[in-house]
Chains A and B, each alone.
Chain A
Amino acid sequence: DARVTQTPRHKVTEMGQEVTMRCQPILGHNTVFWYRQTMMQGLELLAYFRNRAPLDDSGMPKDRFSAEMPDATLATLKIQPSEPRDSAVYFCASGLAYGGEDEQFFGPGTRLTVL
């Protein structure tokens, strides 16, 4: 049963600290997405990779957030320095896209609390 995995599942940190979230997409999927979910804003797309190349990161605050795919089995999202307003659940999703968008499979999320 192929699944997207994310680590850590929970993270509590203090303001100003660096946070790194990791995602392992489903093997063979060529698209990877990072989302942030809050009660007020719902699911917001932060970054989007296809075949490991970044296609869209317009939803991401560039001054503190960065997203990378060092290889096909690992995607990372970093926040440096973290702020209390970054507290949210961060989901990674992967999928197969053939020009259009197909189903996205979500990981269990990283629940981030910045104090």
Chain B
Amino acid sequence: RKEVEQDPGPFNVPEGATVAFNCTYSNSASQSFFWYRQDCRKEPKLLMSVYSSGNEDGRFTAQLNRASQYISLLIRDSKLSDSATYLCVVNRIMNTGFQKLVFGTGTRLLVSP
């Protein structure tokens, strides 16, 4: 089982639709959570951090459920420019005490006119 699991999609939605992605993680010690966005043939870029209380940034809302080890991303009023792959990311605490990020393989979103 992968440490971070996501539905690869693709999710095909029309402009203006609301779409939600889910992600599960296996390491209960993880403390930091993120969503990154990766456009085709480009590098990943941070979309937003995910806080325990949930957080919103414009049309994007992220939620964390620690008990179920589950993270979600909700996109409202989808735009064509939202078409991308969305990577769920959690941190792993190493034996050394340092931390590193573990990336899911991503969920692909296609928004059509």
Contacts and interface: CB of A to CB of B under 8 A. Distances in A.
The reply to whether chain A is a binding partner of chain B is yes
Interface of A: 33, 35, 41-43, 45, 48, 50, 55-56, 91, 97, 100-101, 103-104, 106-109
Contacts of B31: 100
Interface in B87-106: 87, 91, 94, 96, 98-106
Interface of B: 31-32, 34, 42-46, 87, 91, 94, 96, 98-106
B105 A106 contact: no
Nearest to A45: B100
B105 A42 contact: yes
Given A91-B43, A107-B43, A101 B105 contact: no
Contact of B43 (A101, A103, A109): A109
